[in-house]
Structure 1
Amino acid sequence: MPFILILTALLTLLGWLGNLFLIELPISLWDTLSLPRWFWLLLVISLISWGIGD
């Protein structure tokens, strides 16, 4: 039972950090730098695929 709770907490933390670094920060950087939306979309997709290992 404690293992399931720890696993749930870790996965929740990983999901929160992933959301922060892969979604929230690129959007805020895009707002500050005013770069084209396709550029940030390409950057986020390439970071995700690099993280997965493709």
Structure 2
Amino acid sequence: MTSPAWPLAVPEPKPGCATCAHLCQLRRQAQATGDGSATSDANVRLRRHFAEDHSDT
């Protein structure tokens, strides 16, 4: 098993997905307030959402 390249790419939302849009909004809010931990959390949640709900795309 290979390890991911660091730093990981910033996940992009899937067009038309309300969950992706919501998680990206949370990320933007965290970035706007300088909250790096919340930004990272939003990215992790977006990656997990992609793996669970968009893995076929």
TM category, shorter = 0.3 to 0.5
TM-score by length of 2: 0.36
Highest Rg: 1 or 2? 1
TM-score by length of 1: 0.37
Give 1 or 2: higher helix fraction: 1
